[in-house]
Structure 1
């Protein structure tokens, strides 16, 4: 598109079109994405447009063009020339739509590495009440996600994975992503789908598996919305020639027993050592099997890599390649506070959203773009739904470096859990994996 065509549009008209429920043209989308990347469209204007999209939605054609414009705003990696023993690398990636305690990338990538596939993963930081893979990994002393394309290529060739900040990939999305976090527009299906897929289509993977979260702790609360999001992303991937499939997974309750940054890394290390919470292990292995299948890697058992230590070896190699030192202790918060049971019985349901917001209040998330997170902040869940509870027993431990945050975090948890008296029915816990969506 010519510069003349770009400058023939203006931000108020584009905003007004969507505000009034209209369909943005390809030219309008291309112009606003280019203009925002160059600074011609300002944050206040893009904020207004994002809110209009949040309220009015987007058509399939708009989502497709919005995604393409974000991919086109930066570079697109190509690793097709990489070989191992003369065979092209089986390049596959996974993305989660975001959840509470969703640490799965940390054990999953080394499991897939150990099975012979290669993972080029452009990962993100925390968004709203959900944690970010990069924030978690950067709690490891020395670890950096700011690595060059040359280093990404070398790591894929030598060890089979790189987890990196998007950098020059879809720079328009990087700016929009940070803006969504502070403008209450995170829960928009078109914005989620385009954000996820713009980075994934640009990062150089040949195939993709998506984890589309369903429930209270997900960005989209209903199964119907999460299913529509998964289908939209699968269709976008397949249309770009990247075989894509998705799992719908439960996010009504936190995943695992910890939520935060360093505390989730520690729990992931337990999984890689052959232990860890059953739900984290189950989802890690389910996604690994999907990734290996879509990548065409046969005859390997992901579970064996946890049992024999090869996945842990791969994680150590990955962390070391990116400057991290697992021999150094993970950060711990300066202060903790424990909530105990006022009476005995059975642990009732735990609202993932309440826990996610509590962790955000404790300092593990951001309230402004670029703000620093507390690596040691978080929550430990001591009793899962259905487990017995004794009077005075610990239910949640909260961690932060700033104790004045405890009040707000406890207020978020209030009403987000229950202890069911003896003799009352225990909460029903549905399946972790709800459905599978393929082309």
Structure 2
């Protein structure tokens, strides 16, 4: 399919690319920045961000800032845009051959030096088992390397939510916190490991662990946040808004917020040993945070915030989550969220590793 895509004529040294595949929700997608990764499509929150750019504008942004986030246009990956729309309404989004062709045709058209893939598996992913994810990941790695991209894939678990938020504006806030080096530990781990693999693949560091340290430093030093701020402005976000979002002290007043916040109390006292990410994703969808078909409206303000995560203790009646909503809650939704949490009266807990394997 890449033969039908517009092939950019740019020649950018050390062009890198990252792709997450298979997650129902995941805010570790906010800005891919050379020497740091933290991407999320923020145009969803209506801040003026423009993801539709011409080839010349992309080239200019890459050369002046070092990164950009763009989507399909009439000239850039037009075939995939039409095919994905068809997949969305024919329930073939999880199709392995279509996933592979969609991702790699676009990446091959970009001609990156290196590509890292985040292939998710578990309840909150399209690939439910590690074996399914490994099969898809290895195929993408083999094809990517075959067309000249140094391709690596990480298999990552998504039985429980990554981070503490579900929903557009809520996830943008959390991703910006990550750019400050203040994100949830699991999100920080995922971002630094994906970025570290990219740096290693291009020879910019001597090992993946060196790459992880480089990405961590870019986050905590403010370098990644400053680059992201420049990228926002280059792609249409007003300077005052970009600087407010990306300033030393977070100011998220311009992001949409829900009219109501309903706490979710724990049904018992003990250790939170599991949270069903699929149930939470479906509830978030019911609140309006996603769409079931092309053209459906999306409410950018609504979603779910986890006040407690797996591995932490809760008391009966204590709020372990919040529902952010603009209309009365769907019948039974509060009980559904309560049932998604598995609380045990135990002090021992063995978490599932977030990163299950690396494929090369």
TM-score bucket (shorter structure): 0.7 to 0.9
Deviation at 1:105, TM superposition (A): 2.9
C-alpha separation in 2, matches of 1:193 and 1:316: 32
Classify 1:236/1:332 alpha carbon distance in 2 versus 1 (closer, same or farther; 3 Å).
same
Q: 1:254 aligned to 2:179?
A: no
Q: 1:79 aligned to 2:10?
A: yes
Q: 2:71 aligns with which of 155, 158, 165?
A: 165
TM-score after normalising by structure 2: 0.88
Q: 1:381 aligns with which of 301, 306, 325?
A: 306
Classify 1:335/1:179 alpha carbon distance in 2 versus 1 (closer, same or farther; 3 Å).
farther
- Conserved 8 A contact 1:351-1:417: yes
Classify 1:96/1:412 alpha carbon distance in 2 versus 1 (closer, same or farther; 3 Å).
farther
1:155-196 Cα distance to aligned partner (Å, 9 max, x none):
111110110012233322212212322332222211221222
1:93-145 Cα distance to aligned partner (Å, 9 max, x none):
000003254222325x23x356xxxx9x9x9xxxxxxxxx43x4431511121
Partner of 1:95: 19
Structure 1 residue runs of 5 or longer lacking an equivalent are 1-69, 83-88, 124-132
Partner of 1:147: 53
- Conserved 8 A contact 1:215-1:250: yes
Deviation at 1:295, TM superposition (A): 2.2
Structure with higher helix content: 1
Secondary structure, in 3 states, of the residue corresponding to 2:9?
coil
Q: 2:81 aligns with which of 171, 174, 186?
A: 174
C-alpha separation in 2, matches of 1:188 and 1:414: 32
C-alpha separation in 2, matches of 1:368 and 1:214: 23
1:292-338 Cα distance to aligned partner (Å, 9 max, x none):
11123237711111121111101111111111223362111122222
Task: Tell me whether 158-167 or 96-105 shows the greater mean CA deviation.
Answer: 96-105
Structure 2 residue runs of 5 or longer lacking an equivalent are 245-252
- Conserved 8 A contact 2:35-2:218: no
- Conserved 8 A contact 1:100-1:255: no
Classify 1:151/1:387 alpha carbon distance in 2 versus 1 (closer, same or farther; 3 Å).
same
Larger Rg: 1
Q: 1:417 aligned to 2:341?
A: yes
- Conserved 8 A contact 1:144-1:323: yes
Classify 1:197/1:402 alpha carbon distance in 2 versus 1 (closer, same or farther; 3 Å).
farther
Secondary structure, in 3 states, of the residue corresponding to 2:86?
helix
Classify 1:316/1:97 alpha carbon distance in 2 versus 1 (closer, same or farther; 3 Å).
same
C-alpha separation in 2, matches of 1:137 and 1:294: 30
Written as runs of structure 1 = structure 2, the 5 A alignment for 1:307-346 is: 307-324=220-237, 325-326=241-242, 327=244, 329-346=254-271
- How many positions carry a matched residue from both structures? 341
C-alpha separation in 1, matches of 2:314 and 2:2: 50
Classify 1:233/1:208 alpha carbon distance in 2 versus 1 (closer, same or farther; 3 Å).
same
Deviation at 1:408, TM superposition (A): 6.5
C-alpha separation in 1, matches of 2:50 and 2:298: 15
C-alpha separation in 1, matches of 2:261 and 2:177: 22
Partner of 2:350: 428
Classify 1:417/1:179 alpha carbon distance in 2 versus 1 (closer, same or farther; 3 Å).
farther
1:378-419 Cα distance to aligned partner (Å, 9 max, x none):
110111112110121112211233335x33654653642222
Secondary structure, in 3 states, of the residue corresponding to 1:209?
strand
Deviation at 1:212, TM superposition (A): 0.6
Secondary structure, in 3 states, of the residue corresponding to 2:227?
helix
Classify 1:198/1:411 alpha carbon distance in 2 versus 1 (closer, same or farther; 3 Å).
farther
Secondary structure, in 3 states, of the residue corresponding to 1:403?
coil
C-alpha separation in 2, matches of 1:385 and 1:305: 28
Written as runs of structure 1 = structure 2, the 5 A alignment for 1:81-230 is: 82=12, 89-106=13-30, 109-110=32-33, 112-113=34-35, 133-134=40-41, 136-139=42-45, 141-167=47-73, 168-230=75-137
- Conserved 8 A contact 2:35-2:215: no
C-alpha separation in 2, matches of 1:381 and 1:338: 10
